[in-house]
Structure 1
Amino acid sequence: MKKQNSAKTPKLPKTVPKNDHYQRLGFLYQAAAQLDPNGALSRMYLRNMDVVAKKTVLKLDPSVKRTVCKKCHRLQLPGRTASIRIENTSNAQSAENDVLAVSCVCGTLKRYPIGRNRDYMLFSEKNEVKDA
């Protein structure tokens, strides 16, 4: 038996599944960022973004999640709609126990540990992920 010479088909570029939903999420986030962060339309866009992400079972980037209040769906802008401070409630007062506290105007408080590893990068921010 002889091997058949088949023409090599060029590999198609990998496509992102549910690309249209990701585009819609990106549009809603950008539109909300352009509007007044205290306005009802901006909050409605961010609420709509959250609902679309949940219905289509998409995972939002952690940097996007950290900028939206889960209670009132406001874009958290330091000095305008959120206040940021570094807290350390440990008895030792060591730098390893620092916590970034972001409080929204609605009263919601988000806390992120930042003291353990100052060079920590989110998975989505690493170069290997962006290059691949």
Structure 2
Amino acid sequence: MGKNKSKGSLPHREAYLRMNFLHQASNFMTSECSQVPEARELSRHYNSVMKTVARRLVLRLDCSIKRGICKACHTSLATGDCSSVRVQGKRRTHVVVTCKTCGAIRRYRATLEKASDRPVST
């Protein structure tokens, strides 16, 4: 009655492929901002479309991708070029990322690696 599902099948595979392409294209356009004047706007559009696809199909983006995109203006937050990063706090340290395009501030809690989690070098 239902569809045959194999173990290797991924639901919404085409959507994930499309979002992957849009993310890579956005990062490429961000790196080309100095040479092509319209590259920044194109990068913002690609990020906006990627987030729209994920929202429509109720798909989760990886946290590294979400943290690399400004929530306010959809700019790719390339360190140094489009954003500034600093560590702040005494008791609880935070990583503060400021978007240079719109001035939006995002704060993430910084966690230290435990000694047991680190790989042992021999």
Task: Tell me if both proteins adopt one fold, taking TM over 0.5 as the criterion.
Answer: yes
Q: State which structure, 1 or 2, has the greater radius of gyration over its C-alpha atoms.
A: 1
- Provide the alpha-carbon RMSD of the alignment: 1.8
Where in structure 1 are there 5+ consecutive unaligned residues? Answer: 1-10, 121-132
Amino acid at match of 1:113: R
TM-score, length of structure 2 as denominator length? 0.77
Q: Secondary structure at the match of 1:107?
A: coil
Q: Distance in 2 between matches of 1:33 and 1:109?
A: 20
Paired-residue identity, %? 34
Amino acid at match of 2:75: R
**Residue 67 (1) aligns with residue 68 (2):** yes
CA deviation digits over 1:64-102, x for unaligned, max 9? 0010001110000111000000111xxxx34xx111000
Q: How does 1:48-67 map to 2 (within 5 A)?
A: 48-67=49-68
Amino acid at match of 1:16: L
How far the C-alpha of 1:12 sits from its partner, in A, is 4.2
Q: Distance in 1 between matches of 2:48 and 2:25?
A: 12
TM-score, length of structure 1 as denominator length? 0.72
**Residue 16 (1) aligns with residue 17 (2):** no
Q: Secondary structure at the match of 1:85?
A: strand
Q: Secondary structure at the match of 2:30?
A: coil
Where in structure 2 are there 5+ consecutive unaligned residues? Answer: 34-39, 115-122
Q: Distance in 2 between matches of 1:76 and 1:12?
A: 38
How far the C-alpha of 1:13 sits from its partner, in A, is 3.5
Q: How many pairs were matched up?
A: 102
Q: Any runs of at least 4 consecutive aligned residues in structure 1 with deviations exceeding 3 A, and if so which?
A: none
